[in-house]
Amino acid sequence: MLTSVDNVVIVIAAVAIMAIGYYFSKSITDMESYYLANRSLPWSLVIGTLMASWYGGVGVVGTVGYASVFGLASWFIWSIGAHAVRFPLALWVGPRIHVRSDITVPDVMQSVYGKASAIIASVFLFIYCAQVGEITATGFIGEAAWGANKVLLGTIIVVFTIALTCLGGLMGVAVTDMIFFFFMVASVSLVFPQIFDSVGGLAGIREATAANPAYMHPVAGMPISKALMLIILCINVYADPTFYQRFSASNSARTGRRAMLTCFCIWMAFDAVTELSGIIVGVKYPDLQPEMAYITMILENLPQGLRALFILGLFGAIISTLDSYYLIGGTALAKDIYQRLLPNSKLSDRQIINFSRAGSCILGLMGLGMAFRFTLVYDAIVFFSSLWMSTGFVAVIMALMYRGKKTPMAGLASMIAGCVIFAWFKLYPLTISESFGTLEPLLVALPASFIAWLIGNQIGEDKNIGDSVIRG
């Protein structure tokens, strides 16, 4: 569907982006410059990198897919909830937490619970950072745009992302994220008025869905179990490593707070566009795979040249998310797993950076191996987010925010219980009723993890060092 003109524009943009990554590679001298950009990110770059990293292919293509299946409920339950919980994150949590010598989430875990908990958290954090849903999204985009093989196109995107991550570190990631942020918002918003008019606006949507009133109901279009699971997943952002990395990399706590608050109006407006786009896809193409139908519909309504801008926006969203998590996951493998398992290795910053780059490559291979086993993009991200949240969320949040006693057993018990319960209900699903749906493992695993933390906290003594987190 793309013409030679479109393809040339995409190639030129890819070369330019890689050149930016190479330019910033010259400034990488130690781990702080590679992972935290010397804590120098200004307000504008923090906005761009947060927006691009937290949307990605899941936030664009995945949102369209879920909206087309579940209707307006995906907006009220997922979008509003996900953004509402970020207000405390911006106003109180971020400014109260400043990571100093401990620059990763597992560093904080070790200072509170000890080495064993830090290593377990690092392993699950590493898996989470594979961001399989983003690679899943590349397959749908490639099939619709070029008729390309999913695995081949996914491999190209992963290789490009790894190269960009390894070259520029966080500063290169942040600058290219800002560029991708523009492509993503501009391209998706550019075509929305045309497809909105093609169904007759809101009146046309209401008429087309009159036979299924639940589709345009704020909550009725989604099974109760899935709705509860999505509501809980909204708070996963409090244990998301990209937030703590970006906040630590800001040139001040005030910069991070202002950037987060600025993002809210952009997020809400952009979600309205993607959610309505998904509903339009559900109305026009009810029998087609929704994510592919969306991309095909957009490309059919754009002239050549502008089609390239749209594809760049989608791939830019994916790459900007993957490179952020590959950077964090690679560092988790090098610093939080390898160096902790071999404490006498005395790796230099340069060696840790090289191991981090190797970790990025491993994450890419993991993602490619699992990405195309999911029907919808959101199915992939929900699975891995639920696994990380079931295992690490309670331990991380209690380590950062709870001021009382915290024992090593609390962290271990919480993570083990959450992981085991999640695995059990995933392997042996339990259907409650037709309206409730199948019980989502996270709904059981998260409370179990918290109960295990409370029980474990009664065993042993408080070993918290207390110097890795500043609480105001």
Domain boundaries, the chain: 4-374
**pLDDT at site 469:** 43
**Alpha-carbon gap, residue 279 to 294, rounded angstroms:** 10
Q: Which residues pair with 437 in a beta bridge?
A: 433
The set of residues, in sequence order, having a beta carbon less than 8 Å from that of 339 and lying 6+ positions away, is 345, 347, 352
Torsion angle of C-alpha atoms 229, 231, 233, 234, degrees rounded to 10? 170
**pLDDT at site 403:** 82
Q: How far is residue 195 CA from its own chain's centroid?
A: 27
**Alpha-carbon gap, residue 421 to 441, rounded angstroms:** 7
CB 317 within 8 A of CB 159: no
- Which stretch of DSSP H or E encloses residue 437? strand 437-438
- Token pair in block for residue 425: 């209900």
**pLDDT at site 471:** 39
**pLDDT at site 219:** 84
Residue in the structure block whose two tokens are 């492509």: 183
CB atoms within 10 A of CB 16: 11
**Alpha-carbon gap, residue 370 to 61, rounded angstroms:** 18
Can you give the length of the chain in residues? 472
- Token pair in block for residue 95: 């400014």
**Alpha-carbon gap, residue 159 to 153, rounded angstroms:** 10
Hey, what amino acid is at 322?
Answer: L
**Alpha-carbon gap, residue 422 to 441, rounded angstroms:** 5
**Alpha-carbon gap, residue 346 to 258, rounded angstroms:** 38
Residue in the structure block whose two tokens are 């309206």: 435
The count of C-alpha atoms lying within 13 angstroms of the C-alpha of 353, restricted to the half-sphere facing its C-beta, is: 19
CB 291 within 8 A of CB 376: yes
Q: What's the chain's Rg over C-alpha atoms? A: 22
CB 137 within 8 A of CB 381: no
With H, G, I as helix, E, B as strand and everything else as coil, classify residue 435: coil
**Alpha-carbon gap, residue 405 to 366, rounded angstroms:** 38
Backbone phi, then psi, for 92, in 5-degree steps? -125, -45
CB 419 within 8 A of CB 448: no
CB 49 within 8 A of CB 173: yes
Residue segments in the chain with a per-residue pLDDT below the cut of 50: 98-102, 466-472
CATH class of 4-374: mainly alpha
Q: CA 454, 397, 424: angle at the middle one, nearest 5?
A: 65
**Among 304, 369, 24, 285, residue whose Cα is nearest residue 163:** 24
CB 140 within 8 A of CB 317: no
Backbone phi, then psi, for 312, in 5-degree steps? -60, -40
